[in-house]
Amino acid sequence: MSIPFKLDIELHVNGIEYPVTIDAGRNLVSVIRTEIGLTGTKEGCDDCECGACMVLLDGQPVNSCSYLAAQAQGRTIVTIEGVMHGADLRPLQRNLLEAGGVQCGFCTPGMIISATALLARNPSPTDEEIRIGLSGNLCRCTGYVKIVEAVARTAAG
């Protein structure tokens, strides 16, 4: 049986440095939610399958359930709270709501993170490219059509 040891690290999340003391084996999603208190990032399968825990790490979408918090030190982390703009909805968020792409909402933060990364690297994706870009995010409610529509609408401006 391994003995957990503590690490003092700093995580750069949404433009703020957070000093945290954690067990070395803690995953990033649990530290973001529990130590840092940002609960918009969801924990679903905890096994790199559903995408609910997606955050941006140096601009790339990463399943934070399968990423050690200690490995994220020195990197730029953006959570769903960092993508949002105060009380104002960003166009992607508004389009998701208007298109009916949000039902229970559990997948929505991860979807927005993946779609944000997709639109940053490909501002005019085809529907096929949107589906590929969101293929790491599972949604049990919407059937994906309305989510793809919302991303396409956002790309069209």
Sites for ligand FES among residues 138-157 (CB under 6 A): 139-142
Residue placing its CB nearer to ligand FES in the complex, 3 or 99: 99
Pairing of the two strands 6-13 and 76-78: parallel
CB 44 within 8 A of CB 54: no
Residue placing its CB nearer to ligand FES in the complex, 102 or 130: 102
Strand 54-57: give its sheet, edge to edge. Answer: 16-23, 6-13, 76-78, 54-57, 60-63
Residue placing its CB nearer to ligand FES in the complex, 52 or 69: 52
- For the bound state, the minimum distance from the C-beta of residue 63 to ligand FES, rounded and expressed in Å, comes to 4
Sites for ligand FES among residues 88-127 (CB under 6 A): 102-107
Sites for ligand FES among residues 61-80 (CB under 6 A): 63, 65
Give the residue from 79, 90, 62, 60 showing the smallest Cα distance to 15: 79
**Options 1-9, 37-45, 76-84, 113-121: segment touching ligand FES (CB under 6 A):** 37-45
- For the bound state, the minimum distance from the C-beta of residue 136 to ligand FES, rounded and expressed in Å, comes to 8
Counting Cβ atoms within 10 Å, is residue 108 exposed (0-12), middle (13-18) or buried (19+)?
buried
- For the bound state, the minimum distance from the C-beta of residue 101 to ligand FES, rounded and expressed in Å, comes to 8
Where does this chain bind ligand FES (CB under 6 A)? 43-46, 48-53, 63, 65, 102-107, 139-142
